């Protein structure tokens, strides 16, 4: 994979990659999860507004299931957003990451799982960490389930292990990763290696584990504990977010 090289400076260009390729089958709805209406608009709009608030210069959305509908909705919101298709979306989301990363022109990127929703004010906290090489954003104040990505840090507070299967852990991943421009080539190489060994059925977090194990990459923690956020995978989670928007809409743009 060839990644365009940017000029490395204190304020480097950053592209947000929003992943919305999945089918959302756990919601039991016959529509892409990103197009589910909450508070009068599709969920994807909340994600787009959040990443804009972090100060990124460009946004790339990667769709898959019912791609043309998702693309049209995004373009209706902002025609300047680039939308690309991962036609193999039924595999792991690592292929969506590959699609987005291939279309980065220069600089670093902010990887954002499109079914995670945060208050607008949290975007500023995210942006304060976007001066490091590689950052995984986490919290420590949730009761994690078997489907949550768990993280172990070392004595320097760098990520050491990450897996949904961990039984001993210190942090939970919240679906946002930042990678600066100088680390993009290593990240892209690791991505390609993980795809080869997994036939594309891996998750994006396995790229980070590869970098830690093979490259001794230092992965910082961006702690978002205490702020509260929503993930929408199941009907009960959707209802909670709908209730939140109904009562606290002003906090979410």
| One-character DSSP codes across 37-103 | EETTEEHHHHHHHHHHHTT-SEEEEEEBTBHHHHHHHHHHH-TTSEEEE-TTTTS-THHHHHHHHHT
Q: With contact defined as beta carbons under 8 Å apart, do 217 and 15 qualify?
A: no
Q: With contact defined as beta carbons under 8 Å apart, do 50 and 118 qualify?
A: yes
Q: What is the pLDDT of residue 189?
A: 98
């976007």: which residue's tokens?
130
249 is a domain residue: no
103 is a domain residue: yes
244 is a domain residue: no
Query: Residue 23 is part of which domain span?
Result: 14-228
137 is a domain residue: yes
7 is a domain residue: no
Q: How many domains does the chain have?
A: 1
Beta strand pairing call for 134-139 and 171-179: antiparallel
88 is a domain residue: yes
How does the average pLDDT of the chain come out, rounded?
94
4 is a domain residue: no
Nearest to 174 by CA among 237, 225, 233: 225
CA 128 to chain centre: 17
Q: With contact defined as beta carbons under 8 Å apart, do 96 and 62 qualify?
A: yes
- pLDDT tens digits, residue range 107-146? 999 999 999 999 999 999 999 999 999 999 999 999 999 9
Residue 65 has pLDDT above 60, yes or no: yes
Q: What is the pLDDT of residue 11?
A: 60
- pLDDT tens digits, residue range 173-216? 999 999 999 999 999 999 999 999 999 999 999 999 999 999 99
Q: Rounded to whole angstroms, what are the CA distances from 78 to 52, 54, 237? A: 11, 17, 27
236 is a domain residue: no
Q: What is the pLDDT of residue 2?
A: 42
Q: What is the pLDDT of residue 12?
A: 78
CA distance 50 to 112: 10
The helix-helix angle for 205-215 and 94-102 (nearest 10°) equals: 80
């036609």: which residue's tokens?
87
Nearest to 109 by CA among 184, 7, 219, 208: 184
Domain of 136: which CATH number? 3.90.550.10
């Amino acid at each position: 994979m060839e990644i365009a090289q940017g000029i490395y400076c204190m304020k480097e260009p950053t592209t947000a990659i929003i992943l919305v390729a999945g089918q959302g089958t756990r919601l039991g709805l016959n529509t892409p999860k990103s197009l589910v209406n909450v508070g009068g608009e599709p969920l994807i709009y909340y994600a787009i507004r959040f990443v804009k608030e972090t100060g990124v210069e460009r946004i790339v959305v990667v769709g898959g299931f019912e791609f043309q509908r998702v693309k049209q909705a995004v373009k209706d919101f902002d025609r300047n957003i680039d939308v690309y298709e991962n036609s193999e979306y039924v595999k792991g989301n690592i292929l969506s990451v590959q699609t987005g990363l291939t279309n980065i022109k220069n600089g670093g990127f902010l990887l954002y799982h499109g079914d995670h929703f945060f208050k607008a004010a949290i975007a500023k906290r995210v942006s304060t960490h976007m001066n490091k090489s590689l950052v995984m954003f986490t919290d420590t104040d949730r009761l994690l389930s078997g489907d949550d990505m768990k993280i172990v840090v070392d004595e320097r507070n760098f990520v050491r292990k990450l897996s949904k299967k961990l039984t001993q852990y210190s942090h939970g991943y919240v679906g946002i990763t930042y990678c600066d421009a100088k680390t993009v080539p290593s990240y892209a190489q690791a991505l390609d290696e993980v795809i080869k060994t997994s036939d594309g059925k891996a998750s994006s977090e396995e790229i980070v584990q590869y970098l830690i194990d093979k490259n001794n990459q230092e992965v910082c923690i961006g702690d978002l504990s205490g702020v509260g956020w929503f993930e929408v995978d199941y009907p009960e989670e959707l209802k909670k977010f709908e209730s939140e928007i109904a009562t606290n809409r002003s906090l979410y743009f």
